[in-house]
Amino acid sequence: MDVMVPNETHDLRPADWARWVLASSARPPRTRARDQHADRLGEDLRRWVLGRIAALDPAPEELDQALMTIVAASPIAQGPARAIALSLRQEWDDLVIGPALRAFLLNEALAAGEDRRGGSE
């Protein structure tokens, strides 16, 4: 996965952030004693929304409109897609104001890439 590393906050685009999140969440979920069907469905929808953000590549000021377009095109009911879109919008806001979160996400995305390649050399 091609991950762009911006120099400053103003260089950060929602598509780059979406790719970071997709790359960092590529690890398999923890095994739990309860049924995880709903968790998997929610994560699948979240990944779908993030994938659409990456594909649409909206400018930061166009993210809200892009999210509305994505929700309208949701493959399932719009309620869950809207909830995920709102959650992702909040994550974007947190990312824009928090350099520590940007560093964390980038490190997670890079670590996930190392895991897929079989570790560091």
Q: In tens digits, what is the pLDDT along the chain, a chain of 121 residues?
A: 444 444 455 578 999 999 988 988 755 566 666 777 777 888 899 999 999 999 999 999 999 999 999 999 998 889 999 999 999 999 999 888 877 777 787 787 777 766 666 654 4
Structure tokens at 89: 């919008």
Interatomic CA distance for residues 105 and 31, integer angstroms: 23
Which helix H or strand E contains 72, and what residues bound it?
A: helix 63-72
- Write the CA distances from 77 to 45, 86, 90, 106, 114, integer angstroms: 11, 15, 21, 31, 36
pTM, entire model: 0.74
CA angle, 101 then 94 then 80, to 5°: 110
Tell me the C-alpha distance between 43 and 29, whole Å.
10
The answer to whether the beta carbons of residues 81 and 70 sit under 8 Å apart is yes
